[in-house]
Amino acid sequence: MTNKKTKLMKPYSLFLEQYMKRLGPIDEVEGYKVRPGFFDEFGATVIPGGVSFTVHSQHATSFKLALYKRRAEEPFVVLPFPDSYRVGNVYSMIVFGLDIEEIEYAYFVDGPYNPKKGHIFDDSNVLLDPYAKAVSGQSEWGEKPDYGMSYRARVVASDFDWKKSRAPLIPMEDLIIYELHVRGFTKDVSSGVEHPGTFSGLAEKIPYLKSLGVNAVELMPIFEFDEMSGMRHHDGQKLYDYWGYNPLSFFAPNTAYASNHEYNHEGTELKKLVKKMHDNGIEVILDVVFNHTTEGNEQGPSINLKGFDNSVYYMLTPDGHYFNFSGCGNTLNCNHPIVRRMIIDCLRHWVIEYRVDGFRFDLASILGRNEDGSPMNNPPLLQNLAFDPILANVKLIAEAWDAGGLYQVGSFPDWNRWSEWNGKYRDDVRAFLKGDAGLAHTVCDRIAGSVDIYSPRRRENSPSVNFITCHDGFTLNDLYSYNEKHNEANGWNNTDGDNHNMSWNCGIEGETDNKAVLELRHQMVRNAFTLLLMSRGTPMISQGDEFLRTQKGNNNAYCQDNDISWVDWTFLEANKEMMAFVKHLIKIRKKHPILRSQTKPSRSGYPHYSKHGVNPWYLSDLEAERVIGVMFSGRDDTGRFDDYSYIAFNSHWEDHRVELPVLPKGYHWQKHIDTAKQTKKAVVMEEHLTVLDATHLNVKARSVCVLFAHYHPEVDSE
């Protein structure tokens, strides 16, 4: 076998050698052999014997490539791009004789300076390659490099062997997404991992994720960001850009999340993580930020895009100021053809090089704005992403709003490809859970996949990503422990964060030893999890909610790199019954297709979805109605038997008697979940299931019951 391989490799090696001879140097610049490079390969591309450096700008007049020794303050050589190395607006140069393990690089870019027209070129700025695959000096979390403040790139060798690893390709409606922060998930000593706060540390927790039953992780931003950007002190604590929603480089992984330095192989540890996730049947979705960058407004630094072509990459007012639809100082000009290509190139890079399975787009409504900031009917970027062949199998999930007031939940341009974080699900279900009136019919629709805003006839995919909590806001435990946010630790006098939380402290604000209050809080959490996992659409769980993680009332922990944000794994042992309850709900969801999507019609002719109240087949329109029933019907996973589920939810503070829908002959209701019971008893185990001996159900105050119909013809004959 070895001899055959050698024989097969020889012709290719000879071809490559001859090819490189033909691509040998033809010029010399500052003592380095060079030739024109690969004009359609933006960034730095390794070739035998050299590196091709390719950049572009619509308005720049010259480029210089600065090469540095690793960790050096000043470049050891600056190479101007010869005029003949330009095609259109693209400059490309192969530099021979470079040792990629020893160099870092940046650019000096010159052009017009006219801020009112958006041109702010300054060839004294050290600029990071917008297509950089790795950023130097960012590997140590919480530390600035000792060789200066400028950001530089490293050349990355792409040689990871994926072997036969394949993506799970799980249908959207079958996903159970688990949102987590790579650092915070394992940074606390209680995580017990060997490499806390890293990609490797997360990989060590895959057995836990599998045991819980989730089959997709959504990673909060892992694009390179500078946690030290805007670092400040408050009350003895260092406050960082912990969440990472200020991207520094779109193509580079956050090297501080690697457990070891990966010089010129940055991303290898992340690739190993993705491969291991796939090998365990778990998909990887990245939370990506294309609405703004860390460069900020007029007072912000010039890091890359400002210096390469400010008027192209950012939305600017007629007098050259920055539109701020992101709330972060600037707004990326996403539908400019140049920016659109960069975003598509970026996503393709993450799919090809890292094999990720999907993307959740932060403030995605910005991706549908025109260059003047106005919303577009058919945004070309969103359409391009929907039909791009490389992205054909990846999930596209929009946070369908932005900070400029554009709210598109239910109306986001989709081409039957895009799904949405369903903010209406979160808000309506939260309000009804705590007992607000006037939401009965709306919440039924939310449980049914928000059929009022996502037409099942038009939308073939699963457009609604349902969630009650996420990184932004209260944890699920805190949602029922606090009436008000408590963000004092952020240093803004509790003025930051959302004031409209739809939370309820169950009678006492914050931590308490009151047993009655604690049990009520746990019941409210059980209610929330039950509705979430019994709802059609794609459920998303926030890290640690399944074992009652707390942030001590902080609903905006973006800067808290400490025990406020880190997952405390001691809560898992203390609240293992809640984790077991969630685990069982996930098993139920996986067992019953009718909970995930509309299946083949039942033989009985019952509708696939129906609303009920205290009486079957009728839900009143009264404002005070707080008792709802949602019934799903269809076929089971074999297609031979009918499957019926009934979710009874009483958000009232009094008990209610609910009459149940009569089932077809041979089918009988069995109660699987009753959240009014203590957590370890809220689940009726399979061996203890019995046929209900009555046509009604007593639903306790503030509780949820879940019933399934089982085929027992012998009961009818008794």
pLDDT tens readout for residues 209-228: 999 999 999 999 999 999 99
Written as six digits, the tokens of 621 are 């329109």
- 51-73: average pLDDT: 96
Q: What radius of gyration do the chain's Cα atoms show? A: 28
Predicted pLDDT at 459: 75
Cα 548 to Cα 539: distance, rounded to the nearest angstrom: 18
**% of the chain at pLDDT higher than 70:** 96
Q: Long-range pairs for 65-69 at CB < 8 Å and ≥24 separation?
A: 65/93, 65/95, 65/105, 65/107, 66/105, 66/106, 66/107, 66/108, 66/126, 67/95, 67/98, 67/103, 67/104, 67/105, 68/103, 68/104, 68/105, 68/106, 68/152, 69/102, 69/103, 69/104
Q: Express each pLDDT in 341-350 by its tens digit.
A: 999 999 999 9
Output the CA–CA distances (angstroms, integers) from residue 419 to 2, 463, 698, in the order listed: 49, 4, 37
Weakest mean pLDDT among 434-448, 450-464, 588-602:
450-464
pLDDT per residue as tens digits for the range 189-198: 999 999 999 9
Residue 52 reports pLDDT greater than 70: yes
pLDDT band (50, 70, 90) for residue 22: confident
Instruction: Note whether 304 and 129 are within 8 A (CB).
Output: yes
pLDDT band at 3 (very low <50, low <70, confident <90, very high): very low
The tens digit of pLDDT for each residue in 241-280 reads 999 999 999 999 999 999 999 888 999 999 999 999 999 9
Kindly name the residue from 262, 269, 399, 402 that is annotated as catalytic: 399
Q: What are phi and psi of 110, to 5 degrees?
A: -115, 155
**pLDDT for position 716:** 61
Reported pTM: 0.95
For helices 423-433 and 515-534, the axis angle rounded to 10 degrees is 140
| Other CB atoms within 10 A of residue 209 CB | 19
Question: Which stretch of DSSP H or E encloses residue 434?
Answer: none
User: What are the backbone angles phi and psi of residue 204, rounded to the nearest 5°?
Assistant: -65, -20
Cα separations in angstroms, 649 against 101, 593, 631, 702, 707: 61, 21, 12, 8, 11
The string of pLDDT tens digits covering residues 479-534 is: 999 999 999 999 999 999 999 999 999 999 999 999 999 999 999 999 999 999 99
Give yes or no for a contact between 258 and 199, defined as CB atoms under 8 angstroms apart: yes
Q: Are 547 and 579 in contact (CB under 8 A)?
A: yes
Residue 639 is predicted with a pLDDT of 82
pLDDT at residue 641, rounded to an integer: 84
CB 673 within 8 A of CB 706: yes
Q: What band does 5 get if pLDDT is binned at 50, 70 and 90?
A: very low
* Per-residue pLDDT band at 455 (split at 50, 70, 90): confident
Average pLDDT, stretch 316-333?
96
Please give the full DSSP string across 46-72, using - where no structure is assigned. EETTEEEEEEE-SS--EEEEEEEETT-
Question: Which residue type occupies 666?
Answer: G
Give the residue-averaged pLDDT of 331-354.
Answer: 98
When pLDDT is cut at 50, 70 and 90, the band that residue 709 belongs to is very high
Label residue 686 by pLDDT band (50, 70, 90): confident
Kindly indicate the confidence band of residue 19, based on its pLDDT and cuts at 50, 70 and 90: low
Q: Write the pLDDT tens digit of every residue in 603-636.
A: 989 999 999 999 999 999 999 999 999 999 999 8
Is residue 362 among the annotated active site residues?
Answer: yes
- Distance separating alpha carbons of residues 137 and 80, to the nearest angstrom: 25
What pLDDT does residue 405 have?
95
**What mean pLDDT comes out for the span 37-49?**
94
Q: Are 282 and 215 in contact (CB under 8 A)?
A: yes
> How crowded is residue 147: how many other Cβ atoms within 10 Å of its Cβ?
17
Predicted local confidence at residue 71, as pLDDT: 86
pLDDT tier, 4 (very low <50, low <70, confident <90, very high otherwise): very low
Between 471 and 20, the more confident residue is 471
Give the pLDDT of residue 715.
61
Task: Write down all domains in the chain, each with its CATH number in brackets.
Answer: 11-154 (2.60.40.10), 178-593 (3.20.20.80), 598-711 (2.60.40.1180)
Residue 17 annotated in active site: no
Cβ atoms of 158 and 195 closer than 8 Å:
no
Catalytic-role residue among 110, 218, 362, 478: 362
